[in-house]
Structure 1
Amino acid sequence: MIVDAIATVLGGVLLLRFWMQAIRVRPPASVAQFTFTLSDWLVRPLRRLVPGVGGYDWASLIGAFLVVCLATSVLFLSGMPGQTVFLMALYRFLNWIIYGFMALLIVEAIFSWVNPHAPLAPLVRALNDPLLRPLRKVVPLLGGLDLSLLVALILLQIAQLLVGMAFGFR
């Protein structure tokens, strides 16, 4: 359980680092320092092997996958075949991505209700914008309420169910 918690935090930070660089968001100094301090020990050596291509920080994404592979292999030391551990790690990795997007959407909803001018609110809005922009073109405002967040959460839950069905876990 401790290994899983540590792996989830580290993997989440690596995925956040990848996403911030993929969509060209400049985080506040405190978030950048936390993210880079926690993940540089893994990303910098991986960059020697996997350079950034197409403007994407592939080292961060691969680092997150390596973390989930390591955590999965530690959690399932019961002698599972390597292919099973790899598929379970891939399933968990995709779930981390989906849960990360869900968490960002929920944080944005909380900011909009509690304090839309919070220091981290612009960062969270920028991180969610690639998900919400296409939905906002389709989902109309309802009495001044933006329901695109709710639609995005529902679509992410559907994606999570489909991933589970694809891997035979649901």
Structure 2
Amino acid sequence: MIVDTIATVLGGVLLLRFWMQAIRVRPPASVAQFTFTLSDWLVKPLRRIVPGAGGYDWASLIGAFLVVLLATSILFIVGASAEQVLLLALGRFVKWIIYGFIALLIIEAIFSWVNPHAPLAPFVHALNDPLLRPIRKVVPPIGGLDLSVLVAVLLLQIALYLLRTVVPI
């Protein structure tokens, strides 16, 4: 449980770092300091092997996958083949990505209800915008109520369900 918790936090930070750089969002100073301090020890050496290309920080994404692979290897060390561990790690990696998006969407919904002018609200909105923009084109606001966050969470829940049917995680 401890290994899984540490791996989830570290993997989540690495995925956040990748996503911030992929969509070119400048994080608030506190978020940037936390993210980079927690992940630089892994990302900087990986950048020597896997440089960024196409505007993406591949070292952060590969680092997140290596963390989930290591955690999965430790959790399933007995009785699992390398192929099974790799498949489970890939499934858990996709699950982490989906849960990360769901968490960001829930945080945005809470900000919109409680304090839309909170200092982190524009940052969270910018992180969610690439997910919500296509949905907002299809689902217009109803009576001034934006249902795109709800639709996005439902679609991500469906993706999780489909993932569980393919890879038992």
- TM over 0.5, shorter chain: yes
Which residue number corresponds to residue 51 of structure 1?
A: 51
How many residues are treated as equivalent by the alignment? 169
Which residue number corresponds to residue 116 of structure 1?
A: 116
Q: Which residues in structure 2 correspond to 1:1-170 (within 5 Å)?
A: 1-167=1-167, 169=168
**Distance (Å, rounded) in 1 between the aligned partners of 2:21 and 2:166:** 29
The aligned amino acid for 1:88 is L
Identity, in percent, stands at 78
* Structure 1 gaps, min length 5: none
**Distance (Å, rounded) in 2 between the aligned partners of 1:157 and 1:38:** 29
The aligned amino acid for 1:55 is G
**Distance (Å, rounded) in 1 between the aligned partners of 2:131 and 2:92:** 21
TM, length-normalised to structure 1: 0.97
* Structure 2 gaps, min length 5: none
CA displacement at 1:79 relative to structure 2: 3.1
Q: Deviations over 1:66-92 (max 9, x none)?
A: 000000011112131011001000000
**Distance (Å, rounded) in 1 between the aligned partners of 2:150 and 2:72:** 31
The aligned amino acid for 1:63 is G
CA displacement at 1:166 relative to structure 2: 2.2
The aligned amino acid for 1:21 is Q
CA displacement at 1:161 relative to structure 2: 1.3
CA RMSD in angstroms comes to 0.9
TM, length-normalised to structure 2: 0.98
**Distance (Å, rounded) in 2 between the aligned partners of 1:82 and 1:19:** 29
**Distance (Å, rounded) in 2 between the aligned partners of 1:54 and 1:163:** 28
CA displacement at 1:17 relative to structure 2: 0.1
